[in-house]
Amino acid sequence: MSTIRGGARGDLYDQLVREDRVHRRLYTDAEIFAEEMLKVFGVSWVYVGHASELGSANEFKTGTLGGRPIIVTRDADGEFHVLLNRCLHRGATVCRVERGRAKRFVCPYHGWAYANDGALTGVPWPSGYAPEFDTGALSLGRAKVAVYRDFIFATFNADPVSIEEHLGAARPLIDAWVDRFPGGEVVARSGAHRMDCAANWKLVTDNSTDGYHPAFSHRSLLQMAQRLGESKDMAYFADSPDDGAMYCRYLGNGHSFIDQRPMYEAAGDYWAQQRPAPGREALEARIRERYEPAEATRLLDLSVGSQMNLTIFPNLLIIGNQIQSLQPIAVDRTLLLWQATTSPHLPDEINALRMRSQEDFPSFGEPDDLANFAECQRGLSIPEVEWVLMNRGYGIEGRQTLDPDGGVTAPATDETPMRGYMHHWKQLMQGADV
């Protein structure tokens, strides 16, 4: 039975989030979920899409922001807007398709019409409204929008910190990821992998920079990598991941990072460390035919993921060469969207290899993770066992390093990023102005 007693809401979170553990209710309590949709997703900068998905004027896509249906639009001037998909009249959603191109949205219920910047442009038979009903002053609900390196973020916070300040120590890492693309131009592709996960959204976040689990959760993938040579992708997670140059970092403001690049750099070029994939040899042969050896290797390296796992709190996960975003649906249900990325400035063969990388980890490894998330959710339903331990690396003198940018660096299997982001989560739930 619970050892946590009522009391003020702020005190409650002091009890539920300890330095080295959190209470299972963070993952199972529908009231806490409803509260975090307001205090976390309603206040933070939340990732809502990539500029390349709305490549030209008047394109739009729909989605959710902390459960709220939204429309992300680009107007005729190229400006992005994040609109609440909720008619001012009686509340119906005004847009009911996933994506498209539209200058205006007409509510299917009674025909109220809105421009793609949200302004109410007209209602049917206006003579039926009193003169003081001023449609010109009305618009769909709007979130504030900020774009960083083509990642579009939105917030309902009336007075948010700048997106640059929010990203903080994560910012140079986003830059490094984007700058691997020629000209810094990233194209987020269709999102073939859309996973409906039977788990609380924080189970995904907990795992996003967890270097502890791959040796066990992804054993079949690692064993395949080992059969193909010690240096194949992720093989270094299997033996003694804490002894190598790989590390994890808590970056502040809820963001975290695990850096596999040192393992790749120690082993030579990126391409040589890839596992076999269908069609790979033919695509490689075409590149090697057309380019000098060094240039061919440079291009082939650009087909490979960045070996960075960067989590931007609360819902953007940059993993290898994929963009993953999560949308909480219910306390025990989360939508995960994986998108491959390509470049307009790379040969078609390299982009084809980037797309085919979806057949590697997202197809092989992500199902392992999804199974864990759902099984954690099931295990956490047990009321008698209350705590989720995040104490790996905690309390060991000299094991983690405080960085000049305010981050904390630790061995790859430590749960330092989890402890860090849970502290940030607690501050938000206690109403901190962050």
Contact residues toward ligand FES (CB under 6 A) are: 87, 89-90, 92, 107, 109-112
* Shortest distance, position 70 Cβ to ligand FES, whole Å: 16
Binding site for Fe ion (CB under 5 A): 369
* Shortest distance, position 112 Cβ to ligand FES, whole Å: 4
Which of Fe ion, ligand FES, none does 109 bind, CB closer than 5 to 8 A by kind?
ligand FES
* Shortest distance, position 123 Cβ to ligand FES, whole Å: 7
* Helices and strands, counts by H and E, the chain: 15, 22
Which of ligand FES, Fe ion, none does 198 bind, CB closer than 5 to 8 A by kind?
none
Closest CB to ligand FES among 33 and 112? 112
* Shortest distance, position 138 Cβ to ligand FES, whole Å: 12
Closest CB to ligand FES among 83 and 310? 83
Which of Fe ion, ligand FES, none does 89 bind, CB closer than 5 to 8 A by kind?
ligand FES
Closest CB to Fe ion among 369 and 415? 369
Q: Give the DSSP H/E element, type plus range, for residue 401.
A: strand 401-402
Closest CB to ligand FES among 110 and 345? 110
Shortest CA distance to 215 belongs to which of 226, 231, 199? Answer: 226
* Shortest distance, position 208 Cβ to Fe ion, whole Å: 9
The radius of gyration of the chain's CA atoms, rounded to the nearest angstrom, is 23
Closest CB to Fe ion among 206 and 369? 369
Q: Helix or strand or coil: residue 247?
A: strand
Pairing state of beta strands 408-411 and 59-65?
unpaired
Q: Helix or strand or coil: residue 242?
A: coil
**Beta-sheet strands, E only, within 199-275:** 247-252, 255-259
Indicate if the alpha-carbon torsion angle 138, 141, 144, 145 is positive or negative: negative
Which of Fe ion, ligand FES, none does 333 bind, CB closer than 5 to 8 A by kind?
none
* Shortest distance, position 194 Cβ to Fe ion, whole Å: 18
C-alpha span between 158 and 150 (Å, rounded): 23
β-sheet bridge partners, residue 113 = 106, 122
Which of ligand FES, Fe ion, none does 90 bind, CB closer than 5 to 8 A by kind?
ligand FES
Closest CB to ligand FES among 111 and 379? 111
Q: Are 189 and 354 in contact (CB under 8 A)?
A: no
- Output DSSP code: residue 139: B
β-sheet bridge partners, residue 145 = 154
Q: Are 328 and 59 in contact (CB under 8 A)?
A: no
Residue that has been written with the tokens 């592709």 in this structure: 189
Closest CB to ligand FES among 92 and 434? 92
Closest CB to ligand FES among 112 and 373? 112
* Shortest distance, position 164 Cβ to Fe ion, whole Å: 30
* Shortest distance, position 107 Cβ to ligand FES, whole Å: 3
Which of ligand FES, Fe ion, none does 369 bind, CB closer than 5 to 8 A by kind?
Fe ion
Other Cβ atoms less than 10 A from the Cβ of 8: the count is 9
Q: Helix or strand or coil: residue 317?
A: strand
* Shortest distance, position 214 Cβ to Fe ion, whole Å: 6
C-alpha span between 45 and 160 (Å, rounded): 8
First to last CA, the chain: 34
Closest CB to Fe ion among 117 and 369? 369
C-alpha span between 75 and 247 (Å, rounded): 42
Q: Are 144 and 157 in contact (CB under 8 A)?
A: yes
* Shortest distance, position 23 Cβ to ligand FES, whole Å: 41
Which of Fe ion, ligand FES, none does 107 bind, CB closer than 5 to 8 A by kind?
ligand FES
> Measuring CA to CA, how many Å separate 374 from each of 139, 242, 331, 371, 379?
40, 27, 12, 5, 9
